[in-house]
Chains A and B, each alone.
Chain A
Amino acid sequence: MKHVLKPSQYAILVAIMLSASIGDSFLKRGMGQVGAVNLHHLGLLWHALFNPYVDIGIVFLIGFFAAYTTALSWADLTFVMPATAFGPVVIALIGRYWLHEQLSVSRWLGIGLIVCAVGFVAGGPSRTEHPELDQMDAGASR
């Protein structure tokens, strides 16, 4: 049986692609304001929790983890994996088109390969059927 994803499930995959990289960007901006943290100034980590950019970043990363675990409840790990690799692509594209940074040829190639990877798995089934394992799991979780 081929699992066909619902629009809401595609939305979860898009959330996985975007939320981690957006969260990391907010964290980076927030930690830039907080300053460098080292072993002698660990108290800065507590101070960082009161920075609004860090807080927004943490909310996005919690959202990423929620979306990731939700996706794993209806899709294989090897199906979801390429979506998690899309984060660096989003950051590179934000750098290119929003911050006007230059991207090298090797980075464009990397972006192309990860986009291809997402395309490869998206065209296949999202879940491997294991009726016998699912029955055992259902018994174990009771």
Chain B
Amino acid sequence: MTLSPFVHQWSAIAFVAALAVVGEVMIASGMRQLGDLDDIRATRNLLGTIAAVLTNARFVIGALCMALNFFSMLFALSIAELSLAAPAIGALTYIGNAVAAKLFLRERVDRRRWLATMCVVVGVILLAR
């Protein structure tokens, strides 16, 4: 079975956006778990703070997802035009982040933040035109 170019391109775009969402949510979750880095730096200095971040499992998983995201982005750009892939990935990532932040990080995504998310999505699409 061969996929049509449309399905192929949009599958790649959705995969890149999904990796970005998982990566950013894991990093955000790890940083929430660690707490304010300024407070950590006050007691454990800069090297101790960096060590605390780099040994946090959620942060490491998130960073790995972001690295995979980078390489899958290169693949997506090889099969889809930049003018389609960049705004589509950006827009899907912002919407996915807002939904995932509400569901998994239990952030209070009120009307103000939804409005901001939609402004960013439309703004990114307009900037890429």
Contact = CB atoms under 8 A, between A and B. Distances in A.
B119 A117 contact: yes
B interface, size bucket: 35 or more
Contacts of A137: 32-33
Given A73-B31, A77-B24, A128-B108, A110 B97 contact: no
B126 A107 contact: yes
B113 A70 contact: no
B61 interface: no
13 contacts: A72-B32, A73-B35, A73-B36, A77-B105, A78-B98, A78-B107, A82-B119, A107-B129, A110-B123, A110-B128, A113-B123, A116-B119, A133-B32
Given A77-B107, A106-B129, A133-B106, 8 more contacts: A73-B35, A73-B37, A78-B98, A78-B101, A79-B113, A107-B129, A113-B119, A120-B112
B126 A70 contact: no
B59 A69 contact: yes
B109 A78 contact: yes
Contacts, number: 132
Contact of B97 (A77, A92, A111, A134): A77
B106 A128 contact: yes
A102 to B, nearest CB: 13
Contact of A81 (B32, B112, B117, B127): B117
B113 A124 contact: yes
B127 A78 contact: no
A73 B112 contact: no
Label chain B's interface by main secondary structure.
helix
- In this complex, which of A81, A116, A118, A138 has the most chain B Cβ atoms within 10 angstroms of its Cβ? A81
A120 B25 contact: no
A54 interface: no
A88 interface: yes
Given A92-B127, A109-B126, A73 B32 contact: yes
B122 interface: yes
- In this complex, which of B90, B108, B115, B127 has the most chain A Cβ atoms within 10 angstroms of its Cβ? B127
Give 8 closest A-B pairs by Cβ, nearest first.
Answer: A110-B126, A113-B123, A110-B127, A117-B119, A114-B123, A72-B31, A117-B116, A120-B116
B123 A81 contact: no
B76 to A, nearest CB: 16
